[in-house]
């Protein structure tokens, strides 16, 4: 059976997936945070190889996605939305749309049951309300990233952030802290305004009702809750491995391409 690797080079973390046939063998993610990117990629890759207990030579295809141009040992590259759709279908087969929220961008993707991308929307230009921003705020508030979601759920009087720019919004947050607003309410407020933007993106992309959330922020329960509160007509699904959707998708596309190439060779 084909063994393949998918490497999703994001702007804040590198994610690696190892697959065999229809199954995922291993997943690993390494946050970049001020480290040299090539080294992080190599580390993440070798750790994942170890976890999957496979040798490099076993791999039929190494596929990259995201900003994967850095990866010298890749065989092919797939665009982010193609891979996220594929990954989402693998993890959450009932979904027909993906909301991928990463460190700098959010993407809304509509797809069919075979993960064919039908339509999409993506944030560009201003990075406001991205994962990076949330990360900065968390650091500022002294809250570990994993605590952000649970804490936000406790907010009962959310304070909304008005600024569109992440830099200026940080200042808003600073002001809130100094006004004595609870971190839970600040976070909830941020989640609500982020959710608003993402829903806008989703609606603009199409109208599938079952939405898979992928990317780093899928593990943020506060954001997921805010999304659910924002629109009752959509069903949001997450999976413990949602963060890896891009890497998983890349691996599966890689395996697929390998088969196509092999059969071409054969004929």
Partner 1 sequence: MACTESECVADCVRRAETLAFADPPPHSIGYMPIYVPRELIHAAGLLPAGLYGGGDRLEIIRGDAYFQSYICRIPRSTIELALSGHLDRLDGMLFPSICDVIRNLSGMWQMLFPDRYVRYIDVPQNFDPAVGGRFWRHELETLRRDMERIAGRPIDDEALRNSIAVYNENRAAIRELYAQRSRAPWRFPLSEAYLVLRAGNSVPPEEHTALIRDYIRGAENDLSRREMDQSRVVLAGMFCEQPPHGLLVTLERAGCAVVDDDLFLGMRWIQGDIPLDGDPLQNLVDAYLTASATTASRYSPEGHRAKWLLESYRRNEAEGVIFCAPSFCDPALLEQPMLVAALDRAGIPHTEFKYSEDTGQFAVIREQAGTFSDSIRLWSAS
Partner 2 sequence: MKENSMLLQKQLLADHFDALARARDEGKKVVYTFVPGNLNELVRSFDLLPVLPEINALQSGMRKLSGGYITEAEKSGHSEDVCTYVKCDIGMLRKGNIGPTGKPLPKPDLLLLSYTGCFTFMKWFELLREEYDCPVAMLHVPYQSEGRIEPHQREYIVQQLRSEIIPKLEQVSGREFDIEKLRSMLRLSSKAEDDLVWVLESAKNTPSPIDAFFAGVYYLGPIFSAFRGTEDAVQYYRTLRGEIEERIANKEGPITPDGPMKGERYRLVVEGPPNWTSFRDFWKMFYEEDAVVVASTYTKVGGLYDQGFRHDPDHPLETLADYALGCYTNLSLPARVDLLARYIRDYRADGFLVNSVKSCNSFSVGQLLMLRQLEERTGVPGAFIESDLVDPRYFSAANIKNRIESYLQMLDQKRGAA
Partner 3 sequence: MKVFVGIDLGSTTTKAVILDEEERVIGRGITNSRSNYDVACAVVREEAFVRARFTMIERGLRTPRPHVIQDLERNFRLHQHLEQLDRLREAMLMLAARRGTPASIINGICDEMAIRARKHFAPGATRKSDFFRDLAAADYMSLAEAIREVSFESLCAIYDAAILAVENLTLDRAFERHIGSALQETEDGESLKEAVGAACNAELVESGSVGTGYGRQRLPFPKEQIRSEILCHGLGAHAMFPGTRTVLDIGGQDTKAIQLDPNGIVTSFQMNDRCAAGCGRYLGYIADEMNLGLHELGPLANESRHRVKINSTCTVFAGAELRDRLALGQKREDILAGLHRAIILRAMSLLARSGGISDEFTFTGGVARNSAAVGALRDLIAENYGARTINISHESIYTGALGAALFATRSAVRGNA
Ligand X SMILES: Nc1ncnc2c1ncn2[C@@H]1O[C@H](COP(=O)(O)OP(=O)(O)O)[C@@H](O)[C@H]1O
What residue ranges bind partner 2 (CB under 8 A)? 162-164, 168, 175, 196, 199-200, 203-204
Binding mask 176-205 for partner 3 (x = CB under 8 A): -xx---------------------------
Contacts of 178 (CB under 8 A, 6+ apart): none
Binding mask 239-258 for ligand X (x = CB under 6 A): ----x---------------
Over its C-alpha atoms, the chain yields an Rg (Å, rounded) of 19
Q: How far is the CB of 141 from partner 3 (least distance, A)?
A: 8
Interacting residue ranges for partner 1, rule: CB under 8 A: 67, 78-82, 105, 116-120, 122, 124-125
Subset of residues 11 to 50 that bind ligand X, contact rule: CB under 6 A: 11-13
- The most distant pair of C-alpha atoms in the chain lies apart, rounded to whole Å, by 71
Assign 197 to helix, strand or coil.
helix
3-9 and 13-20 beta bridge pairing:
antiparallel
Assign 202 to helix, strand or coil.
helix
Determine, following the binding rule CB under 6 A, whether residue 143 of this chain makes contact with ligand SF4. Answer: no
Distance CA(218)–CA(206), nearest Å, equals 20
Distance CA(262)–CA(140), nearest Å, equals 52
Q: How far is the CB of 161 from ligand SF4 (least distance, A)?
A: 13
Residue with Cβ nearer partner 1 (148 or 202)? 202
Q: How far is the CB of 126 from partner 2 (least distance, A)?
A: 9
Taking phi over 0 as left and psi of -120 to 50 as alpha, with beta for the rest, 240 belongs to alpha
Cα 85 to chain centroid distance, Å, stands at: 11
Q: How many residues bind ligand SF4 (CB under 6 A)?
A: 6
Contacts of 207 (CB under 8 A, 6+ apart): 110
From 140, 150, 210, 235, residue interacting with partner 3 (rule: CB under 8 A): 140
Q: How far is the CB of 166 from ligand SF4 (least distance, A)?
A: 5
From 62, 99, 134, 151, residue interacting with ligand X (rule: CB under 6 A): 134
From 87, 158, 216, 254, residue interacting with ligand X (rule: CB under 6 A): 216
54, HSE (Cβ side, Cα atoms, 13 Å): 22
Q: Which residues bind ligand SF4 (CB under 6 A)?
A: 126-128, 165-167
């Amino acid at each position: 059976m084909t063994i393949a690797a998918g490497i999703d080079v994001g702007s804040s973390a590198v994610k690696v997936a190892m697959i065999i046939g229809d199954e995922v063998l291993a997943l690993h993610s390494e946050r970049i945070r001020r480290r040299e990117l090539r080294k992080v990629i190599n580390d993440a890759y070798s750790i994942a190889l170890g976890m999957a207990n496979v040798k490099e030579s076993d791999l039929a295809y190494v596929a990259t996605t995201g900003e994967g141009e850095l990866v010298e040992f890749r065989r092919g590259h797939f665009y982010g939305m193609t891979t996220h759709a594929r990954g989402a279908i693998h993890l959450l087969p009932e979904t027909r749309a993906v909301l991928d929220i990463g460190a700098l961008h959010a993407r809304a993707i509509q797809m069919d049951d075979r993960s064919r991308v039908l339509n999409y929307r993506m944030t560009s230009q201003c990075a406001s309300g991205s994962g990076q921003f949330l990360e900065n705020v968390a650091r500022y508030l002294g809250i570990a990233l994993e605590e952000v979601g649970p804490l936000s759920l406790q907010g009962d009087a959310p304070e909304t952030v008005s600024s569109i720019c992440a830099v200026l919004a940080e200042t808003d947050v600073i002001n809130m802290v100094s006004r004595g607003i609870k971190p839970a309410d600040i976070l909830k407020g941020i989640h609500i305004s982020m959710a608003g933007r993402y829903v806008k993106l989703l609606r603009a992309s199409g109208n599938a009702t079952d939405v898979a959330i992928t990317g780093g922020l899928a593990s943020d329960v506060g954001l997921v809750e805010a999304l659910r509160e924002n629109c009752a007509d959509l069903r949001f699904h997450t999976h413990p491995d949602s963060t890896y959707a891009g890497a998983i998708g890349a691996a599966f596309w890689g395996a697929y391409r390998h088969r196509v190439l092999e059969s071409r060779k054969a004929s």
